[in-house]
């Protein structure tokens, strides 16, 4: 399956930007499905949890990926920024090596872990 990343992640306002307050957070329906978030979680546990920990709390130099500090860092950035950052830099020993779909799913998982609610639409067009 090929996802149209531009459609989902090109949203200029940015999901995380919209989620600036904790109150808004729980209400927001994210541009992803529960299936994408759960696939992302499986990937996360295999490729990311060694450093960022199973519950995204972070450890040493690897920052937390869910919670107040993460939100503070990313609140002014877009969902696309998060996707691009992860694809370019994570995991450090295999940057971008998981493939585009994997980073989309990881993005969905991290959004969900920060309180966004999965919707019924993938949020981006499946073009093939």
Q: Which positions touch ligand HEC (CB under 6 A)?
A: 47-48, 50-52, 61-63, 65, 70, 73, 85-86, 89-92, 106
89 SS3 class: helix
In the complex, the smallest distance separating the C-beta of residue 113 from ligand HEC, rounded to whole angstroms, is 11
Widest distance between CA atoms in the chain: 41
Q: Which is nearer to ligand HEC, 27 or 69 (CB)?
A: 69
Inter-axis angle of helices 100-113 and 34-47, to 10 degrees? 100
In the complex, the smallest distance separating the C-beta of residue 68 from ligand HEC, rounded to whole angstroms, is 11
Q: Which is nearer to ligand HEC, 7 or 75 (CB)?
A: 75
In the complex, the smallest distance separating the C-beta of residue 98 from ligand HEC, rounded to whole angstroms, is 6
- Written as six digits, the tokens of 123 are 């949020």
Distance, in Å, from the CA atom of 114 to the CA atom of 61, rounded to the nearest integer, reads 20
């Amino acid at each position: 399956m090929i996802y149209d990343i531009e459609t989902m992640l090109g949203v200029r306002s940015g999901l995380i930007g919209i989620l600036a307050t904790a109150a808004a957070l729980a209400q927001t329906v994210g541009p992803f499905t529960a299936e994408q978030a759960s696939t992302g979680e499986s990937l996360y546990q295999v490729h990311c949890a060694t450093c960022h920990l199973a519950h995204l709390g972070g450890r040493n130099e690897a920052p937390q990926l869910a919670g107040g500090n993460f939100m503070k860092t990313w609140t002014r950035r877009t969902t696309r920024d998060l996707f691009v950052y992860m694809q370019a830099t994570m995991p450090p020993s295999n940057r971008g090596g998981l493939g585009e779909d994997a980073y989309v799913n990881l993005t969905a998982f991290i959004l969900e872990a920060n309180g966004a609610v999965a919707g019924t639409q993938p949020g981006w067009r499946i073009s093939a």
